[in-house]
Structure 1
Amino acid sequence: MVDQISVLHPRDTAHFDEDTLDTLSRDLGPNVAENILCRALEDMAQRLAQIRDHYTDANTPALRKTVRSLVPIAEQIGLAGIAAISEDVLICIDRDEGVALAATLCRLLRTGEIAIACADLGLDLSL
């Protein structure tokens, strides 16, 4: 019996919801909205680093807690995709699905890093 190995080429992107960012800007003013966005992205970057460390250390309770805390941050700044992937990671943790967890966690980290990189490059985030 010969096993086949599939090589995947992920093409993840991070999409900021323009309506969420526009609402933040309209309700709080562009300067405050920009400060919230920057702080949220910094917080997200710290949590992604913690998530990587918790996974490496096999600290599942801390991993679950940190991933769970990422959801409202992502939702606040219009990163619904990252919030959804975080929920998928939580499902994998709760079901004790190691292979699915590894794959989904990689997707979360990739997507989160893309969002942070877009902001670091100064791309228009509709503020």
Structure 2
Amino acid sequence: MTIYDDAIPAVSKLDPGLLNALRQAATAAADDGVEFYVNSGWRSPEYQEELLREAVFRYGSEEEAARWVATATTSPHVSGDAVDMGNSDATEWLSEHGAEYGLCQIYENEPWHYELRADAIDRGCPRMYADPTQDPRMQQ
């Protein structure tokens, strides 16, 4: 899906500021021949819990799964505050230009995961966490 697919809740339920920043960045990226695709945006709490259960099965423990998937109560996807980009051209473009739009990679182990940090426009993106287990928001 693209960031213009307003009929899809994964896009339409994103935080309006995040969606606006993504669309502005996508317009600039298109000038460089880069298209933005969204693998995952907003998620329902039920879907987030399903992803977490699958991750526990895949990685063998809740502790290891937490490096990749947050709970429904802590996930920025459930609140519409995160987007997982769908191609390496887009993530490469965002790693270079995203801060100009307040779009920052948050986790070193997830180069596809971006969130809005409006102060990044003036200050640059904050230092990344190694993975979600290092993010204080995930400790709730």
Q: Same fold (TM over 0.5)?
A: no
Give the number of the structure whose residues are more often helix, by fraction: 1
TM-score, reference length from structure 2 = 0.29
Report which structure shows greater RCO (CA 8 Å, sep ≥6): 1
